[in-house]
Amino acid sequence: MLRFIHISDSHIEAGGSTNNSSVPEGGLQCDKACKNARELRSVIDAINVKISEGLSVDFLAHTGDICNSDDKKNDNGSSFRSAISIMDSCEIEKVYVNGNHDNLSYVTNVRDREFSRVGNKMEFEKYLTPELTGSYSARFDNYRILVLDARPQRVDFSAEVFSKNTSISSCSSPEPDGDQPADPAGYLLPTELNRIEELLDECKSQVVVFMHYPPVKLDCSWVDRNMCVSNGEQLHKIFAAHADKISGVFFGHVHHGIQAIVDNVLYVSSGAVSMQFDTSAHLQKHEISLDSGAKFSLVAIDKQRVIVKQYSIGCFETD
């Protein structure tokens, strides 16, 4: 059996602290930064407690938006380092996915560090395409791990590319001054879709997919309009054609725990570490959910079943 922890959307900000005894000076923005860091710490602490009690876990997967400011060109990586310092206190292997608020170079660096650690069982296999290093396949025992980076800004898309290959109205290419706006919709190049199909065609083992953006619609107006992979229907068709090989597609981005089975393909999002969004079907824009507290999931997979147990940690409150 494969067993892993799934977390997402920690949104650590520069200036965050994990000191629970006080709230430093700096007003509401500092308070928010500290809250997100403390929420991540509370989740990692809870996972460590379960492991110390005897829970066997193969790895931890963070499906993106590790940080909340590293998409800016003037960010010095402090928020990412803060996040990783907290994550490192959990000593199991880790999988990191690039989110729309992350810096890909930071994510790939920590990913490569994970693969280089002596004793780790996760084995890097290959990039989907040599020039796009955020998407790759790996092996863990008898399972194939497929990580997909669908953030449009991971490459320099030109206006021509967008006009020919996608109808995304909300996506934009990087700004001329080098900033990379954190667009909410994802996109996969045709070459990437082809490589995913080829990989699944040749694969003889079960596949577990990790990505940040949801590939399918989730019965929520604002999510379905703004947050999905814009050409997700093409990706889903590939998954559906190989449904017997895919144990599950695990993602984040929507800040809410959702499970959906579409054409025999299981899609699972983790609730967020930072804050939860209301994904009621009628909502036209995102709203903060009353379901507060940091979330994580424990996922167990074998040949006959997939079991997802979702946990909630009491939210941090200030006096």
For the stretch 27-85, pLDDT in tens is 334 455 588 899 999 999 999 999 999 999 999 999 999 987 644 555 678 889 989 99
What are the domain boundaries of the chain?
2-313
pTM of the model: 0.86
Phi then psi dihedrals of residue 300, to 5 deg: -125, 135
Q: Do 269 and 278 form a contact (C-beta atoms < 8 A)?
A: no
Question: What is the average pLDDT across 89-101?
Answer: 94
Give SS3 for 181.
Answer: coil
Question: What is the average pLDDT across 109-136?
Answer: 92
CA angle 65, 13, 227 (to 5 degrees): 30
Q: What was the pLDDT predicted at 71?
A: 47
Q: What's the mean pLDDT when you consider all of the chain?
A: 84
Using CA atoms, how far apart are residues 279 and 288, in angstroms rounded to an integer?
Answer: 9
* Structure tokens given for 279: 């994904």
Residue 15 pLDDT greater than 70, yes or no: no
Q: What was the pLDDT predicted at 92?
A: 96
Residue 230 pLDDT greater than 70, yes or no: yes
CATH topology of domain 2-313: Purple Acid Phosphatase; chain A, domain 2 (3.60.21)
Q: What was the pLDDT predicted at 134?
A: 93
pLDDT in tens, 239-277: 999 999 999 999 999 999 999 999 999 999 999 999 999
Q: What was the pLDDT predicted at 130?
A: 87
- Sign of dihedral through CA atoms 62, 208, 127, 205? positive
CB crowding 111-125: b at 16 or more within 10 Å, else e: beebeeeeeeebeee
Question: What is the average pLDDT across 126-146?
Answer: 94
pLDDT in tens, 174-183: 332 334 445 7
- Read off the pLDDT band of 224 (50, 70, 90): very high
DSSP label at 67? Answer: B
Residue 104 pLDDT greater than 70, yes or no: yes
pLDDT in tens, 293-313: 899 999 999 989 999 999 998
Residue 99 pLDDT greater than 60, yes or no: yes
